[in-house]
A and B are shown apart, each in its own frame.
Chain A
Amino acid sequence: MQQLLLQMLDGTVTSLKVFVLTLIFSLPLGFIVAKGRMSRNFLLRGIVNLYIQIMRGTPLILQLIFVYFAPYYVIGFSYDRFTAVIVAFVLNYSAYFAEIYRSGLQSIEKGQYEACKVLGFSKTHTFFFIILPQVVKRILPSLGNEVVTLVKDTALAQTIGVSELFRVAQNAASRMFSTMPIFVAGVFYFIMNYIVSKMFDFFEKKLSYYR
C-alpha cells in the first residue's frame, strides 16, 4: 500500500510538472495569440484564427499524438516524450487562453481607453494600470474553469507514454486486479482541483471590492 502511494505520488509529480509548465508558457503565450487574433493585419488574423480553430476543433489527444509523431515521420526528428507533451499542451492551452483574453479585452468599454487618452496616459500605463486589472477581474472565472480542465487533461499525457498519475494508477490496478488505485487517483485529482478552485475563489474575492 505504502509502495503504491509512493508510486502514485511520483506520477502526481509528473502530472504537476505538466500542469505548471503548461501554465507558465501558455498564460503569456495566449496573450500574444490574442493580440494576433485581434490584429488589423488580416493575414495574421486569419492564420491565428485558423490555429485557434484547429486547437479547439480537434481532440487534444490527437494533437498530442501529432506533435510527438509528426516530426519523426516528416523529417526523421524524434524527441523526448515529456517535451512533446508540454509542446502539445502549450499549443492547445494558448489557444483557449487567447480566446478568454480576447473576450476580456473586448469587454472593456471604449470609454476607458478614451479617458486614458484624454488624461495623457502612455499606452503602457493605460494597458498595465487601467485595462489589465479590469480584464483580469472579468476573466478570472473562465480562467478558473480552464485551469481545472487542465488538471484533468494532464491524464492524457500517457497517450504518448509519459507515466503521469493516471497511468501509474492504471498499471497498479492491472497488477493488483483492483480498481482501488484508480479510485485513489480520482481522489488525488479532486484534491488538486480543490486547491485550484480555492485559489481562484480567493483571487475573485480579492478583486470583488469593485464592480
Chain B
Amino acid sequence: MEELMVKAEGISKSFGSLEVLHDISFSLTKGNVLSIIGPSGSGKSTLLRIITQLEKADGGTLEIKGCRLFENGVYAKAEEQKRIGRLTGLVFQSFNLFPHFSVLRNITEAQRAVLKRSKAEAEEKAYSLLKRMSLQDKAKSYPCELSGGQMQRVSIARALALDPEILFFDEPTSALDPELTRDILNVIRSLAEEKMTMVVVTHEMNFAKGISDHAIFMEGGYIVEEGDPVSLFEHPQNKRTKEFVKSFDD
C-alpha cells in the first residue's frame, strides 16, 4: 500500500484582500516527486510555505504523513505543529545559510539543538552529507567563501541532516548561474533515485519532466492543470498551460 505523505484539501490563503491560493488540493505518496510550475505570483511559494509552516493557511485541510496540521483552517496544538514540522524540510531559493557559522556548524547546529544529537554523531552525519555533496574539503569554510552552487548544496545538506520525510525545494536553482544549476539538479536527481519524497518548485521543465512522478501547473492561486509530467509538459490541455510551457521552449 502506498503511504500518503501529503494530503491537501481545499487550501486557501489570502494576504489582506488578495487571495493567493484558492481551493488547492493534491496528494503525494511516499517516494514520489511532485513538481510545481507556474508563472510568477501564482502562489507556488506560498503553498510550500504553508506546508512547511512559514505561513498560516486560512482554510482547508492538510495532513502530513497522516498527521493533521490543520482542518478547515483550524490548526493543531503547537506541540503537534512542531512534531509535524520535523517531518518536513525546506530548501530556499536564497539558501539562507548562517553566515557566522562554518559549513560544518551550519549542518550540525539543528541536529544538536533540535534533535539533541551528540556532537560526534552530528558531525559524522554532517561529514557524510558533505561527502555526498562533494564538499568534504569545505567543512571548515564559511558560507561567504563558497560559490552559489556550493552554498545551495550546503543548504540541502543542512535540511537532510534532520532526516526529513519530505523535502521541499522552492526554486532551488533560480539564484544560480546555469553551470551551477546542473550540480544542484544532479543532487536532487540522486535524491529522487533514492526515493526521497520531494516537492520541487522549478522553472527547469526538462529536469521536472525527468524526475517527477506528478506535475502541477498553477496560475493565479489555482491548480489549472495537473497530471503525469510528460503529458503535462508535452501535451498540455489547458490553454494557459500551453502558453506557459511554450514560453520556455526556445
How far does the alpha carbon of A8 sit from the alpha carbon of B90 in the complex, in Å?
62
- A–B Cβ pairs within 8 angstroms, 21 of them: A109-B96, A112-B98, A114-B54, A115-B96, A117-B53, A117-B54, A118-B53, A118-B88, A118-B90, A119-B114, A119-B162, A120-B114, A125-B113, A129-B109, A130-B98, A133-B100, A134-B100, A209-B142, A210-B99, A211-B99, A211-B144
Spell out A's residues near B (CB within 8 Å): 109, 111-112, 114-115, 117-122, 125, 129-130, 133-134, 137, 209-211
In the complex, what residues of A have CB within 8 A of residue B158's CB? 119
In the complex, what residues of B have CB within 8 A of residue A134's CB? 99-100
How far does the alpha carbon of A28 sit from the alpha carbon of B144 in the complex, in Å?
31
**By the criterion CB–CB under 8 Å, are A121 and B100 in contact?**
no
B127 interface hit (Cβ, 8 Å):
no
- Return the CB mask of B80-95 against A: 1 if under 8 Å, else 0: 0010011011101010
Residue count of chain B within 8 Å CB distance of chain A: 26
How far does the alpha carbon of A145 sit from the alpha carbon of B85 in the complex, in Å?
43
Secondary structure type dominating chain A contacts? helix
B67 interface hit (Cβ, 8 Å):
no
**By the criterion CB–CB under 8 Å, are A120 and B144 in contact?**
no
In the complex, what residues of A have CB within 8 A of residue B144's CB? 210-211
**By the criterion CB–CB under 8 Å, are A111 and B94 in contact?**
yes
Chain A proximity of B107: nearest CB distance (Å): 10
How far does the alpha carbon of A118 sit from the alpha carbon of B158 in the complex, in Å?
11
- Return the CB mask of B134-145 against A: 1 if under 8 Å, else 0: 000000001110
How far does the alpha carbon of A122 sit from the alpha carbon of B85 in the complex, in Å?
13
B52 interface hit (Cβ, 8 Å):
yes
